[in-house]
A and B are shown apart, each in its own frame.
Chain A
Amino acid sequence: MSDFHRGVDNALKDPQIRKNFRHAMDGLMAKRKVAFADTRALEQLRRLSAGIRSNALYHLPELLQQLEDNCLRNGIQVHWAESIAEANGIVLEIMRRHRAKQLIKGKSMVSEEMGLNAFLEARGIECLEADLGEFIIQLVGEPPSHIIAPAIHKNRQQVARIFKQKFPDIPYTEDIDELTRNARGILRDKFYQAPVGLSGVNFAVAETGTLCLVENEGNGRMCTTIPPVHIAVTGIEKVVARMSEIPPLLEVLVPSATGQPITTYFNMISSPRKPGEKDGPREVHLLLLDNGRSRIYQDPELIATLRCIRCGACMNHCPIYVRIGGHPYTTTIPGPIGSVLEPQKLGLDKLGILPTLSTLCGACGEVCPVRIPLPKLLNRLRYEGVREQPGGTPGSGALRSRRDALVWKLWSSIHSRPAFYRFVSKAATRLRRLTPGRLGPWTRARTAPRPAARSLHELARQQGFDHE
């Protein structure tokens, strides 16, 4: 069994994971349904949002330049990084310039993608996660299992034990309000002291040079307000053309992610502290990361991948994700969008199995707020994995095996030769009592299907259905 299958298997067999995820996903699905009760309005909103994102992608190079111009004019420093190594280097350089040994972080999937924490820690810089979910899993050195709720795989007893272990002076409690209050106290100190704060970006508005952030806790505002230096990291695809496009995106993002109508805070940052202002960072840096996105951009079908606004609705509705959680995917972003995005970034040779981890049931595509055709893209990547002439996706063709190719050639041989097909099925019906009881993985948990006594072709002919 490969590492991947072992990971999946372990998750399937873990009753805690199964229970935690089922409970969490059911809740998120139900809340979303209530929030989007008017299905007609929802469909209009999805179309509008898909249009906004598609148009932004179409104009991406111009919008990036416009964003940069306006940010610079506002006093925000703009950095570009093609690779993760470059991006980490830029953050390190900023930290070193300020002789900063500590970085306090709001939630940022891009920083996970960068492996930023490990990179900085190896160079003597402490990275502190301030988002409660990220804070909890950082205490036990685990990666997030969901892009919106990183500690979704932990129940309160597990969290209580973690707190007690890491903060022995604080009395043990499983009460969620108390746990939250404790975290508030611990992190308040850190916000107060930290020399540099880091955040992600939900939307970067080109028109005004504004970085927009959604959050409920306030840690994002803390990281972007109190420390004297703020670094915002984002993928290049997060640009939006105009402020007027923000309300529909917000209206579709938040309920898709958590079922709320809006998050507690919507934070719009356009410049560092101006003369006369009493607070705010003195320096604001925007780091634009490529890491394969500009290559994905070049494929007219796969470019839809870049519309993603990271809401998590697809994984909330995925019947596979709910049963294994995020970790078995082994990627920064799990679930359906992860299975489409990550193989394109890291290669089908490494992650080609992910697009097959789906029944193509379509639940994901149905809820995607920006109408990414996820089942279609999953199918496309399956093709990319096994095609004979490699395409543009890294690792294209890496999953093609001679045996499989032969099997499908045989299959198409039989099914494109009607007389031969009828002969084979007639044989199967006549020999049906010889059907093996064991048919590989299928019959481990199911009875073996047995051919009928007569095929439909035969019966149709007998009953006069086969000619005009």
Chain B
Amino acid sequence: MTGNRDYPQRPAKVYFFGTCLIDLFYPEAGIAGMQLIRREGVEVIFPQNQTCCGQPAWNSGYREEALEVAWRQIQCFPKAYPIVVPSGSCAGMMRCHYPELFGAHSQQKKALEFAERVFELTEFLVHVLQIELKDLGEPLRVALHTSCSARREMAVSEEHKTLLRQLQRVELVEPERTEECCGFGGTFSVKHPDVSLAMVKDKADAISRSGAERLVSGDCGCLMNINGHMARRGDGIPNQHIASFLWERTRRPDDE
């Protein structure tokens, strides 16, 4: 399957941008992502000075503040290695919006060059590493939620599915209205909480009805939103970032 951008040859080293949400709330997903890459023989570097891609401020209209933070991130990844990001939303911010954010900036060229090196995790695994996964788990019915950014900005919904379909004992179920937004939208969920709730409720109902035993997503924001609601109302199901799930299903005893 060909993707919709030019992918580099398998590199010797990559950077990993963990995202602030994963950093604080889902660190195991970040570790799993790095382990998946390292297991394929690629060295993974996690620069300690990284913090946040800047999207919260960018989406709230506070562009100067977003720029300040974004510029710091760019400086954390100076060498010409690919930067792998376990989130369609954060990858989208850096790849699709940094060029605009840095439009009038003296370092725009650096920002453009940086953006070119950003890869969402699943597209990196599929197209650059051509990963082949061996499912060691028990049969399981899994629902995939693809974030809007993964779907429309990074265009990696097929890549998410490709990886899950490699797992022989995983049955992928598609909830109704799979393409509709879950209602997170970052600050939207607190600025317009009732509309957000109406959206997450429908998403949760669809996932419930799909009969899935596990919910998997490439974006932790969506997970936090959907599972937060399902848990609160009592029909929460186990849920993970796709990296955590893939690592769990394919991890051999001697894998690090």
Contacts and interface: CB of A to CB of B under 8 A. Distances in A.
B45 A467 contact: yes
Interface string B176-194: 0001110111101111111
Q: Is the interface of B mostly helix, strand, loop or mixed?
A: helix
Interface of B: 13, 16, 18, 20, 22-28, 30-31, 34, 38, 43-52, 54, 56-66, 68-69, 72, 100, 148-149, 151-153, 179-181, 183-186, 188-201, 224-225, 227-229, 231-233, 256
A324 interface: yes
Contacts of A362: 148-149, 151-153
A361 B185 contact: yes
Nearest to B19: A456
Contacts of B149: 362
Given A359-B183, A359-B196, A399-B61, 14 more contacts: A5-B194, A319-B183, A319-B199, A358-B188, A383-B62, A412-B66, A429-B24, A446-B225, A449-B25, A449-B228, A457-B23, A460-B34, A463-B256, A465-B46
A360 B224 contact: no
Given A324-B195, A359-B148, A449-B25, A405 B62 contact: yes
A440 B193 CA distance: 10
A139 interface: no
B57 A412 contact: yes
A412 B50 contact: no
A418 B68 CA distance: 13
Contacts of A448: 228
Interface stretch (A82-90, A186-194, A271-279, A384-392): A384-392
A325 to B, nearest CB: 12
Given A382-B59, A411-B57, A418-B48, A468 B31 contact: no
A412 B152 CA distance: 27
B190 A415 contact: no
A450 B228 CA distance: 11
A429 B44 CA distance: 24
A118 interface: no
A363 B190 contact: no
29 contacts: A12-B195, A12-B198, A319-B180, A356-B192, A358-B185, A359-B186, A360-B59, A362-B153, A366-B152, A383-B63, A384-B61, A386-B60, A386-B62, A418-B48, A422-B48, A441-B193, A442-B190, A442-B228, A445-B197, A445-B229, A447-B231, A455-B27, A456-B18, A457-B23, A458-B27, A465-B34, A465-B38, A465-B46, A466-B48
Interface of A: 5, 8-9, 12, 319-320, 323-324, 356-363, 365-366, 376, 379, 382-388, 399, 404-405, 408-409, 411-412, 414-416, 418, 421-422, 425, 428-429, 440-442, 444-452, 454-461, 463, 465-468
Contacts of B23: 425, 455-457
Given A363-B181, A455-B23, A382 B189 contact: no
B69 A415 contact: yes
Given A460-B18, A468-B13, A428 B24 contact: yes
A366 B231 CA distance: 32
Contacts of B229: 445-446
A418 B31 contact: no
Given A383-B63, A442-B190, A459-B31, A363 B179 contact: yes
Contacts of A361: 148, 152, 181, 185
B108 to A, nearest CB: 16
Nearest to B47: A466
B251 to A, nearest CB: 14
A459 B30 contact: yes
Contacts of A459: 27, 30-31
A30 to B, nearest CB: 12
A465 B195 contact: no
Contacts of B52: 415
B18 A444 contact: no
Nearest to B18: A456
Contact of B191 (A9, A356, A460): A356
A318 to B, nearest CB: 9
A382 B61 contact: yes
A444, A456, A468 — most chain B CB neighbours (10 Å)? A456
Given A459-B30, A465-B44, A416 B68 contact: yes
B189 A441 contact: yes
